Structure 1
Amino acid sequence: MKSLKQYSIPYTGLKIGHHEFNYEVGGLFFKEFEYSLVKNGTLKVDVFLEKQETLMVLDFHVWGLIEVNCDKCLSDFPYSIDTKDRLIAKFTESDELSDTEEVITLSKKDIEIDVSSFIYEIINLAAPYVNVCEDPGNTDACDQETLAKLEELSTSEEDSDDKDPRWDILKSIRKN
């Protein structure tokens, strides 16, 4: 968690108005989060903070490359992301702090806001749900041996000599 300290913004000394913070996210960042979908990447993060008297508005812009694991050949390949998100931090005097997805609350005792978890969340939400490169089998990152083995083991309906008669019955239902 020591490497995440750089992602804390001390807001107590900031004047009311606009402020900008820039971060670089790499492999050490993702190692701090257990069970991360993204294991590595080179990303840049711009945080535009607008401090007001009762709240702060943080606009995040994250762009760069993340390494994701291909669902087809199981090798890592780079995936480009460029995403924006917003977080609102409200100052409250009560001890009852209730956070929502887009609004967090800060007490009088807080002096800084840690944006590492929000950056991590933004990156993971920008990662593709299905991880397949743009041109499967034809990129440098593709594992040709695994793809060849998949092709060898896959059987199509036309190639199958021993057809199961149960499938013919089910196909006739679809035609009705």
Structure 2
Amino acid sequence: MCYLERFDIDLKALTDEVTPLSWELDDQFFASLEGAQLQGGSLHVSGSIRKATGFYELQLHTDGTVRIPCDRCLDMMDQPIGADLRLVVKLGSEYNEEDDIITVDENEGVFKAAWFIYESIALAVPIQHVHQPGDCNDAMMRVLEEHSAARSSDADAKEIDPRWSALLKLKEKSEE
């Protein structure tokens, strides 16, 4: 059995109106997905799928951490994640994804939730992710400071463009 098959939901086998769902995600989950940019983490997914007339409503909540590189020092860090996913799944003649409505081939009747769970996690990762102050790699921070200081001192050493000098004179006169 493929690792990702545990995230398959057999829609035809659902008998109750509401079926609870729960999974634990670890590094193996991320490694099993082709094309996944996130490479590891520890998360808990819980939720339910509700059978209604003509469709199924899937609601999932994910909590935990993913391992990603710090934007500042490039060391790996644990980024807390909280994500919610709501999808409507229908049975139809062929597979189709349109907005938040997924149509699954009724001959197969199986909804493969793994990639949708991954996407909800990936979208919950903040744009900027950095360690807490003081937790970054000290060696990398020293190198970063050296290069930042070199750039700013080079800018200060350059002669000011004469057009800016004229504007500075105007500014000084207006402040008097």
Do the structures match in fold with TM over 0.5?
Answer: yes
1:12 aligned residue: 12
Match runs of 1:17-166 below 5 Å: 17-92=17-92, 95=93, 97-135=95-133, 138-139=134-135, 142-155=136-149, 159-160=153-154, 162-166=157-161
- Is 1:16–1:52's contact at 8 Å kept on the other side of the alignment? no
Superposition TM-score, scaled by structure 1 size: 0.84
Q: Determine the C-alpha separation between the residues in 2 that align with 1:146 and 1:165.
A: 32
Q: Determine the C-alpha separation between the residues in 1 that align with 2:32 and 2:162.
A: 49
Q: 1:132 to 1:107 in 2, by over 3 A?
A: same
Q: 1:6 to 1:68 in 2, by over 3 A?
A: same
More helix, by proportion:
2
Q: 1:18 to 1:147 in 2, by over 3 A?
A: same
How far 1:16 sits from its partner (Å)? 4.3
Q: Determine the C-alpha separation between the residues in 1 that align with 2:12 and 2:145.
A: 60
Query: Which consecutive unaligned segments of at least 5 residues does structure 2 have?
Result: 172-176
Paired amino acid for 2:157 = D
Corresponding residue SS for 1:73: coil
How far 1:53 sits from its partner (Å)? 2.7
Q: Determine the C-alpha separation between the residues in 2 that align with 1:96 and 1:7.
A: 20
Between Structure 1 and Structure 2, how many residues are aligned?
169
Q: Percent identity?
A: 25
- Is 2:91–2:109's contact at 8 Å kept on the other side of the alignment? no
How far 1:68 sits from its partner (Å)? 1.3
Alpha-carbon displacement from aligned partner over 1:106-159 (angstroms, at most 9, x marks no partner): 232022211001100011001111121232xx12xx211001111112127874
- Is 1:16–1:53's contact at 8 Å kept on the other side of the alignment? no
Report which of the two structures shows the higher radius of gyration computed on alpha carbons: 2
